[in-house]
Amino acid sequence: MTKKEAKKPALNRQQLRAQLLGNAPKPARTALSLFGADIELMQPTLRAILDVQDIEDTKERSTDMIIRYACVPGTDERIFESADKDMILSWPFTNELVDLQMAIAKLTGVDVEEAEKVLKGAPLEEQS
């Protein structure tokens, strides 16, 4: 093994903490078009994912994710407010909404294709 191939020395606890806690990573972003408007979705935080798991109502959970993470492109400014929930729920269910939900799923780390394979491969009755 040459010196170039040698492993970097392991970081100590203080260095690891500084690297992981001192420089918060930037959330990933995805640009998409929604009813002709260009928007960006920002990757949710761990806290947000855990919080949304407490929401049992699917409508509430879905609209909450849209409200929290749809941003004006290139900024952290939210497009929607909580007061917009009913209006969002009245949108026509189009491919753009499917694309929006898929983008949210990808930003949260859900492997949509793998989830579809699992659902197609095993009937719901067999999963209990």
The CA R_g of the chain, rounded to the nearest whole Å, is: 20
Sequence-distant (≥ 6) Cβ neighbours of residue 115 within 8 angstroms: none
4 against 45, higher pLDDT: 45
What is the pLDDT at residue 128? 45
- pTM score, whole prediction: 0.70
Q: Which two tokens stand for residue 114?
A: 């793998």
CB atoms within 10 A of CB 113: 8
Q: Looking at the predicted structure, is the pLDDT value of residue 125 above 60?
A: no
